[in-house]
């Protein structure tokens, strides 16, 4: 459990991220006691998500304080982050003193590109799970994966589960449960197709075919990042 007068949590906000990867955890984190949550980018200009939502950064890489928790969300813009040395350097620097190094969805591939998942178990969106091994991580098909001080969440909606796990680790399960109750986080999805484990073969095949061109683009970015890690 983290003992701090004010816990500092930072989420990387970047163009073409999936907003729920960020806003789901944000909603949990800002309800934690004595906590300051930072939305971090290179400048303070509005950042537009992959679906068109504009979000305001609260601080920049240069102005950001030392973080107790750093979190990298995912989304299509993650591809560019994997070769953006300014971003990767910031994540590496903050990770040196951060108590928890975390991600949601394909943000874990960015952690991997920064060299921060070698030898760690991790997860990501199911469609890109196999790419973690290219970056030296052990891929685990679970909604939230904890390995030492690395905590990673699977795709998009798992960000809330992920953040509740982080709060439980930081402040104890009583506070995490209190936040969950206030948020009325009591999922009852209308369909049992939210995972490859529960979707029908036909549904899964269709989703894989729809995503295939972009997943290949992501794979090429991951391969390039993996090659850079070997230099």
Supply the range of the domain harboring residue 187. Answer: 7-229
Q: Does some domain include residue 173?
A: yes
Average pLDDT estimate for 21-36: 98
The domain tally of the chain equals 1
Q: Is residue 2's pLDDT more than 90? A: no
pLDDT (tens digit per residue) in 163-173: 999 999 999 99
CB distance 129 to 123 below 8 Å: yes
- Residue 105 a catalytic site member: yes
Q: Is residue 1 part of a domain?
A: no
Q: Reduced to 3 states, what is the DSSP secondary structure of residue 216?
A: helix
pTM above 0.75, yes or no: yes
Q: Inform me whether the pLDDT recorded for 1 exceeds 70.
A: no
Q: Does some domain include residue 23?
A: yes
Average pLDDT over residues 16-43: 98
Q: What CATH number does the domain containing 186 carry?
A: 3.40.50.880
User: Looking at the domain assignment, is residue 215 inside a domain?
Assistant: yes
Active-site position among 6, 64, 71, 105? 105
Domain membership of residue 47 (yes or no) is yes
Kindly report, residue by residue over 83-118, the tens digit of the pLDDT.
Answer: 999 999 999 999 999 999 999 999 999 999 999 999
For residue 71, pLDDT beyond 90: yes
Question: Does 2 map to a domain?
Answer: no
pLDDT digits (tens, 9 = 90+) for 53-62: 999 999 999 9
């Amino acid at each position: 459990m983290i003992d701090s007068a004010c816990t500092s949590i930072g989420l990387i906000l970047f163009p073409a991220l999936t907003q729920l990867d960020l806003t789901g955890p944000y909603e949990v984190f800002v309800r934690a006691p004595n906590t300051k949550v930072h939305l971090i980018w290179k400048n303070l200009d509005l950042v537009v998500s992959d679906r068109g939502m504009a979000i305001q950064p609260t601080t920049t890489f240069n102005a950001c304080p030392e973080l107790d928790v750093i979190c990298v969300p995912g989304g299509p813009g993650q591809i560019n982050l994997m070769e953006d040395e300014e971003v990767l350097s910031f994540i590496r620097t903050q990770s040196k003193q951060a108590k928890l190094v975390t991600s949601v969805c394909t943000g874990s591939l960015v952690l991997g590109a920064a060299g921060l998942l070698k030898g760690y178990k991790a997860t990501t969106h199911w469609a890109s799970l196999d790419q973690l091994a290219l970056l030296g991580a052990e891929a685990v098909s679970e909604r939230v994966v904890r390995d030492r001080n690395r905590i990673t969440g699977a795709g998009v909606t798992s960000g809330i589960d992920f953040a509740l796990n982080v709060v439980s680790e930081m402040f104890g399960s009583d506070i995490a449960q209190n936040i969950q109750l206030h948020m009325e986080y009591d999922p009852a999805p209308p369909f049992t197709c939210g995972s490859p484990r529960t979707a029908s073969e036909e549904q899964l095949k269709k989703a894989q075919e729809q995503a295939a061109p972009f997943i290949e683009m992501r794979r090429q970015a991951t391969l390039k990042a993996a090659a850079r890690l070997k230099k």
